[in-house]
Chain A
Amino acid sequence: MNENRFINRSELIGILVLAVFLVVVLPLCLDVFRLNLVAKYLTYAFVALGLVICWGYGGILSLGQGVFFGLGGYCMAMFLKLEASSVENTKIQSTPGIPDFMDWNQITALPLFWKPFHSLTFAVLAVMLVPGIFAFIIGAAMFKRRVGGTYFAIITQAVAAILTILIVGQQGYTGGINGMTDLRTLKGWDIRPDHAKVVLYFFEVGLLFLCIFIAYFIRRSKLGRILVAMRDQEDRVRFSGYSVANFKIFAFCVAAVFAAIGGGMFALNVGFMSPSFVGIVPSIEMVIYTAVGGRLSILGAVYGTILVNFAKTSLSESFPELWLFGLGGLFIAVVLAFPNGLAGIWGDYVQPRISKLIGARKPKSGWTDNSVADGAPAE
């Protein structure tokens, strides 16, 4: 393996295959409606990518990624909502110029924290910074005091519950349980028609590849190796003089920002944002995508997300009864039999056979770092 570059050849091939699949195959095969569905799935792929770094490499299981997805989504949605609530659009309201749900809740002036969201620059920055800072606060408070493992998972879950209750309860400021609906334009550009959906899809794929490269870079850098070392033997890393807490905070923040980018793209692609993407159930589902794809594989997380969501859509369309059985069973099977998910099956069974067939030299396992290829991570 060439240590000088952060991506080796087999990984580069993997990325190219994914790129061809997302940029050429899917847009040619699917109509715009289905392509938009894929765009929706891919917003979760950002979350899954973040989880690979934070959970797969860092060993920090966060059950609150919905919080960051939601915060990012809400920041974007607030900008879009303000643009959709211009004075002429909302002239039937008792107070024109404010979002409709505020009007319904007898709020007559735009709340202070909404005002900066008139600016797109601010909104885009907020999509990344608000969740990032929030993750930093949670991470700093927890990891500095050496809260980890299951306790961290449960506390992030509580945070997800708190945020959901807060959003639902503060109807006048957040749109309550319905969320922010009826998002129309981005700087005057209508995001609803078909061609806009296609443009947004390609933009999103571009962002996704940017995140994938960042993830590879983190993994290949010294920082990534410290993360893996920390996951496996935290105390030894600490005794070697590294600040374990800071590395954990970093991994958690990266995961949060990735999730938030996904959330922002979700608001753009789907045209609404609601608390049902913030809570505990969606947060755990996002972990499921990562686990099914393979918690150690950057590309696996993307495939896992697409696959589980595709299965969810098609199964719940034709067999609504069976879907939960299927999802639950899949999840148990993955945990019991394939702790490294699809990527593990690929790396352990499929790839060696293919290499044998084409008579290639002994394969370096391309799906995961050599240092972590020996089975399930210690937790």
Chain B
Amino acid sequence: MFGDYSIGDLGSIFVMQGFAGLILFSVYVLMALGLAIIFGQMGVINMAHGEFMILGAYVTWMTSNFFQSYLPSLFSGYFFLAMILAFLASGALGMLMEWVLIRNLYKRPLDTLLATWGLSLILQQAYRSIFGAREVGVELPQWMLGSLHVSDSIEVPINGVFVMGLTVLITIGVAYIMYRSRWGRQVRAVVQNRIMAGAVGINTAKVDRYTFALGCGIAGVAGSAFTMIGSTGPTSGQLYIVDTFLVVVFGGAASLLGTIASAFSISQTQSTLEFFMSGSMAKVLTLLAVVGILMLRPQGLFALKVRK
């Protein structure tokens, strides 16, 4: 399998595939961060997570259209505003859903799965009715197109670098919120023992609502970032959901570090395998490996040591 390539070629291939894997890694981390908060911290199975991402993508698409028609001079910077809007839109919808739906189901985690699946069906049809069934693509500003030439045989697309930078920023932000801020401590207290946290004066209902909203908001930003890489349709969200859950579960549900580590290992495995076989077989092998490891180590890579 290696015979046809020289050492230099192989090196470039691995660098390029490694880089493609890094972009995939960023995508996985962005998708999984929101879910790691909602599923890992709160224990809610949010099957509509993909649809919250798609909401962010549609918000980005609308912002880009708005700038193109009314503010063409500022078009190169629309993306930053779009991401904020995506965060707010998905977060607001998440907050509403928590209030209507999720707060009734904290004691029945498996039922959250069913209810949010119903929610995801409704959202999909809503997108189809509002935006049409066709996939939409966002026009990128000039500076995001093209690629950096690192050497003769190695090229790196700029939008990929941008997504990676964004991922790093958001990850640091989430880590700060969850592990350093006062509010993050409240979240973790509520997760560990809801009744006790309420007894010491934490408004658990409020903490729940904002945690859920934060997770959904990050999903919106992730969806916004995806528009730079691919197009968006009403059912795109469903494509991501299994991968995302696997990333979170593989990493160990309650650990942010685990989420990042598992996203890294899954994405690198997949992109390296993709070079040597068809994309679908690479995906099958990667998923099989993940499921296999999960059978050996059900609590995931980085499990918190908690007595149950």
Contact = CB atoms under 8 A, between A and B. Distances in A.
> Are A and B a genuine interacting pair, yes or no?
yes
Interface of A: 61, 63, 141-142, 145-147, 149-151, 153-155, 157-159, 161-162, 165-166, 168-169, 280-281, 284, 287-288, 291, 321, 323-325, 327-332, 334-336, 339, 376, 379
A251 to B, nearest CB: 15
A157 B108 CA distance: 19
A203 B196 CA distance: 58
Contacts of A339: 108, 111
Given A169-B278, A169-B284, A336-B101, A155 B291 contact: yes
B286 to A, nearest CB: 10
Interface in B1-58: 39, 43, 45, 47
Given A166-B284, A169-B284, A153 B110 contact: yes
Interface residues of B, number: 44
A159 B246 CA distance: 11
A62 B291 CA distance: 15
A61 B113 contact: yes
Contacts of B125: 321, 323-325, 328
A374 to B, nearest CB: 15
Contacts of B39: 150
The DSSP consensus for interface residues of chain B is helix
B245 interface: yes
Contacts of A280: 238, 241-242
B245 A332 contact: no
B288 A162 contact: yes
B120 interface: yes
Contact of A165 (B109, B129, B249, B280): B280
B118 A332 contact: yes
A154 B287 contact: no
A249 B47 CA distance: 26
Contacts of A335: 105, 111, 114-115, 118
Given A169-B281, A325-B126, A328-B117, 4 more contacts: A63-B113, A162-B287, A335-B114, A376-B108
B77 to A, nearest CB: 37
A138 to B, nearest CB: 9
Nearest to B249: A154
B110 A150 contact: yes
B161 interface: no
B165 interface: no
A325 B287 contact: no
B245 A147 contact: no
A161 B242 contact: yes
Contacts of B197: none
B121 A379 contact: no
Contacts of A149: 109-110
Contacts of B119: 328, 332
A158 B109 contact: no
Contacts of A155: 249, 291, 294-295
B122 interface: yes
B238 A281 contact: yes
A75 B115 CA distance: 33
Interface in B279-297: 280-281, 283-284, 287-288, 290-291, 294-296
A159 B288 CA distance: 8
Interface in B203-256: 238, 241-242, 245-246, 249
Given A159-B291, A165-B283, A325-B122, A284 B109 contact: no
Given A151-B249, A151-B298, A162-B288, A331 B108 contact: no
B151 interface: no
A158 B246 contact: yes
Nearest to B118: A331
B73 interface: no
Nearest to A376: B108
A248 to B, nearest CB: 14
Interface string B250-288: 000000000000000000000000000010110110011
A22 to B, nearest CB: 27
B291 A157 contact: no
Interface string B114-141: 1101111110111011000000000000
A324 B121 contact: yes
